[in-house]
Structures are given as structure tokens and as C-alpha cells.
Amino acid sequence: MSPGTLLYALFGCIALALAGASFVQALLPGGPWSKHHRRVVMATALAVPLLFGGAALGAMLGLGPTLLLNAVLPIVCLTAIYSNHGGLHDQRFGVHALCTVTSLWNAFLFVLYSVRAAQLLFQIDLGTEFCSLLTCNALAQSNIGSPDAALLPLWLPLPLLLPPLSGTSRSMLIYASVAGFSASFTLGLHALELPTAYELTTTMRQPVEHATLSVSEMRSLGMSLGDIGELRSKSNSEAERWIGNVPSIEGRIARAHELGLDRVRMSVHLDEELDQDFFARAEELRESLVEAKLKLVLALVPPRRSRTPLPPAQQRKRAEDAQWILSERLRPDLLILFSQPLVGPGSECYGRLPVAHWCAWIQSCARTIRQARPSQRCGIELSPGHPQALALYESLLGEEVELQELHFALDARSYHMPSLQQSLLELDGWLLTRKTSKTLGLLALPPAPLGLGGMQAQVSYVRRFVAFANRYQSFKHLDLGPMWDGPNGWNGYWNARDIERPALAELRSSILQVHAAPR
């Protein structure tokens, strides 16, 4: 567990302990507080673990209806402010001051969760200033929570409660001190991140002129349908339809067919157990794709951060075995051997290898697979912006390298990555000066609206993606990004309740309708 996660756990324990103490004190008789105030304290103390815990757990498990709990979270923050101030009439000045800091934290959470609910439930974008709070919280949570907070905004900071105790009580001063200092720390952390968050949000939301995709018979469109390991098989259960946030295999394929896609991208995590159940779902997927006349792009991606990692040498051996097994069993139209191997989880998984080592290894993997199955097309996905990316790209251009496709990931999912504008400029230089006979593709990885920049940032991303694709007709394959929010990211074009985001309307008008039109 990282130090940041420990800090988040400590803050959560403090908030839950204060809620528990408030509930117990509200049950005890005595004191000048009215029954109404005690009932508000008890209700708020119960709501903090139940509603916040339910919203976070439901999001982690992919239970779409639990998103509705986000509408209640701002109300809980308001009642926390009321319950804390309702019993301050006989308190000392120090307790008043500490309670004021606590209330500032709760007020900040009220605004934050109101903006979050507006976007998550009603698809309302409240502008750069309010969306900066979402970005600010994601940046802060990456320090006291998870480095993936911008992509998976599941880390919900809790409001702080004060038990209804007498002003002469030493316990009240202790509770107020713990709550006040905890609130001061978290408010200070958010205040430090706010200027960066505002600048980042403004950049990501910059207006971009609408453009439509240049029509080409040679271009194919795809979207990511998620992980094979998370697919649901056929089911008529009404309960599963209601609980599941994403359609079953048939539902996903039908959605892809409705959008007029040519192929779909599925991913397999390196730590996935390639057992009988996995291949049963994968073969059902393959049959559905053949029936729908859709091609399959299969990408082997690094393991999830939540899993205990193996040493890099073992991960590399596991990757080689998984590539061969997936090619033989699933026979994808394109097998992505490595997805963004130089950055983030990729570098953590495989280790920091020299470019020459990477090139030799990629060549060896591709040769092994094509010797066993000569018709198998192989490719990799690179992220512009990494210091080694250009050197690796150049080393893979030669005809002797048995890669048929090179794809470029335009990654805007994390503030740790180079900005989209920087990536586009760098990729622009690569393509102008270095020609290749290999098939090129673009992979869209848009930001999560609840984590970075709001929904307008996702719309601006789509417009930049279209403009760059128009600039280079050499991109024959365009992967438009994830269809749905899922456990790997909340940056889909549909949220977990299967509600369309505004970026999808932009996608339809600029790409999908043009691609589907008769030519």
C-alpha cells in the first residue's frame, strides 16, 4: 500500500470514527439539544458510511443504479454542516474556530458533489470554474488515494461530523481538534492543486472547430468494448439487466453494429487467468463478431495496479506465452502485442528496457507468432511524448520487423501523461519526416469527464482527434476509444447507466455518420 493510499485510509478512518461517535452521543440522553437536532445527527452519521460507501462500492462493482446515490451526497454534506453548527451555542471560541474549518471542508464537498451529480446523472456541464473542482479533487486524490484517480474517480472524500457534546467537555475539544486539523490538511492539499487544476481544465476545454472526417474507402473504424474477462454471457435475468451497467456480449455487438463500426477492440490484462471460463466467453464473442461481420482487434495490456505485480522478467515470459495462446485460440484479425509499453503501467510491468532490447524482443515475439500462424497480423501501440518513443518507432519501421501495423495512442486520461497538444505536435514531426509501408492507426483515449476537465474536455478531445486524422490520410484504422465506463476507466461515451455523453453526439456528426454514408 502506497503512502498516499495510507493517508486516504487514515482520513477515511477519522471521518468514520467521528461519524460513529456522533451517532452514539446523539443516542445518549441529556444535554441542551433538541430531539430534532439529535435525529439529524443520527441520520447524517448513518448516511456517511452507508451512502458514500454504497456509491463507491457500486461504482467499483459496475452496478449502474448505485450512481443514483450521487444525487444524495450533496445533501449529506449540507446536513453535516447543520448538525455541526446546531450545537455550538455554548461552545468555546476554539471549538467554534475548529468547527468553522470543518464546515468549510463540508461546504467544499457540497459544491464538489453537486457538480459531480450534475455531470454524472443529468449530463450538465457547469463550466470551467466548477469543472476545475473535479480536476482539483482528482489531482489531490492522486496524492492521498490512487494515481488513477483522474481516470477512475472512485475515491470519495468524506464529510466530517462533530458529536453533540457540551462546551465544557474535554472530549468535545479533542473531537473538534481532530476534525479541524483533518479538514485543514485536506483543504490545504486541494488549495495547492487548484491553480494547476484550473490551468489544466482550461487547456483541455479550449474550443476546437467542428470538423468532419475525410471519407476514405480504405479507412476502418473501431471502438473498445472493454476486457474479455469482464464480459457477461447470454442471460435473460431481469435482475442482471437491471444491475449490470453494461450490456452482455450480444448487446455490445449490437451497439457496435448500430454505430456502423468495422471492427471492435477487446483487451486482455496480462494477469488475466486464461482458463476455460475465459475462453468460453471469448469464443462466444468471436462467434458473435463473425455473425455481425465485425473484425476483432485483441490487445494485451499491462496488469491492473490493484494486483500484486510479478518481477519484470516473469511478466515478460508471461506476455510471450499469452500472445501465442491468444493468437492460436482466438485468431484475432489483429493482435496488439504491446499496448503503451514505455509509459505508466507498461514500464512498471516490463521494466525499463533499452530501445534495442525492446526492438529485438518485439521482433522475436512477432516472428514466433507468425511462424505458428502466418496469417496473423501483429502490431503495437506507442504513446508519443515518451523520450524513447521516437527511437523505438524508428527501429520498428524496417521491412525486416515482422509487424504489420503501428498504432499511436493519443492518451489524455491522466495529467501524468504529456498533454494532447504536445503529443500531436510530436507525432506530426514523426509522420512528416519518416515514411513507412506499415499500416498506421490512431487510438483515442479521451479523458474521464468526472476526473479531468468535464464533458466539454471530452468533446474538445474528439474534435482534435478528427482534425489530426484528417491531416494524415495514412491512418487507415481509427479506434475511437471506449464505449462504456468500466472498472478500467470512466472515460466512455456512455456512462454506467448507459446514458450517452455529449461527446458521442460529436462523434456521430463528425465521424460515424460520414463513415456510414454511401460512397
Q: 48-81: per-residue pLDDT in tens?
A: 999 998 888 877 766 667 778 889 999 999 999 9
Name, in order, each residue with C-beta under 8 angstroms of 90's C-beta and a sequence gap of 6 or more. Answer: 32, 166, 167, 168
Going by C-alpha positions, the residue among 353, 340, 344, 359 that lies closest to residue 300 is: 340
C-beta atoms surrounding 464 within 10 Å:
22
pLDDT at 175 over 90: no
User: Could you give the CA distance from residue 330 to residue 323 in angstroms, rounded to a whole number?
Assistant: 11
DSSP state of 64: G
pLDDT single digits (tens) 263-275:
999 999 888 888 8
Query: What angle is formed at CA 449 by the lines to CA 5 and CA 424, rounded to 5 degrees?
Result: 100
pLDDT of residue 337: 92
* The three grid cell numbers given for residue 507, joined into one nine-digit string: 462523434
pLDDT at 242 over 50: no
pLDDT at 315 over 70: yes
Can you tell me the mean pLDDT for 295-320?
A: 81
pLDDT at 97 over 60: yes
User: Could you give the CA distance from residue 267 to residue 17 in angstroms, rounded to a whole number?
Assistant: 41
pLDDT of residue 47: 92
Would you place residue 30 in the very low, low, confident or very high pLDDT band (cuts 50, 70, 90)?
low
Domains located in the chain, CATH noted: 3-204 (no CATH), 220-516 (3.20.20.80)
User: Could you give the CA distance from residue 356 to residue 363 in angstroms, rounded to a whole number?
Assistant: 11
* The three grid cell numbers given for residue 503, joined into one nine-digit string: 461527446
pLDDT of residue 1: 59
* The three grid cell numbers given for residue 489, joined into one nine-digit string: 476507466
pLDDT of residue 239: 38
Can you tell me the mean pLDDT for 177-201?
A: 91
User: Could you give the CA distance from residue 334 to residue 378 in angstroms, rounded to a whole number?
Assistant: 6
Q: What is the pTM of this model?
A: 0.86
pLDDT at 509 over 50: yes
pLDDT at 513 over 80: no
pLDDT of residue 243: 44
Weakest-pLDDT range from 344-348, 361-365, 369-373, 460-464: 344-348
User: Could you give the CA distance from residue 37 to residue 60 in angstroms, rounded to a whole number?
Assistant: 34
**3-state SS track over 474-487:** CEEEEEEEECECEC
Would you place residue 298 in the very low, low, confident or very high pLDDT band (cuts 50, 70, 90)?
very high
Mean pLDDT, the chain, rounded, equals 83
pLDDT at 118 over 80: yes
pLDDT single digits (tens) 484-501:
887 778 888 888 777 888
User: Could you give the CA distance from residue 442 to residue 409 in angstroms, rounded to a whole number?
Assistant: 6
pLDDT of residue 167: 55
pLDDT at 199 over 60: yes
* The three grid cell numbers given for residue 347, joined into one nine-digit string: 514500464
Polymer length of the chain: 519
Going by C-alpha positions, the residue among 448, 433, 460 that lies closest to residue 493 is: 448
Going by C-alpha positions, the residue among 300, 285, 294 that lies closest to residue 260 is: 294
For cell 443516542, the residue is: 27
pLDDT at 417 over 70: no
Q: Express as a percent the part of the chain with pLDDT over 90.
A: 23
pLDDT at 112 over 90: yes
pLDDT at 195 over 90: yes
User: Could you give the CA distance from residue 488 to residue 448 in angstroms, rounded to a whole number?
Assistant: 11
pLDDT at 177 over 70: yes
pLDDT single digits (tens) 214-237:
766 567 889 998 888 777 655 444
pLDDT at 189 over 50: yes
Going by C-alpha positions, the residue among 500, 58, 491 that lies closest to residue 244 is: 58
Q: How far apart are the first and last CA of the chain?
A: 55
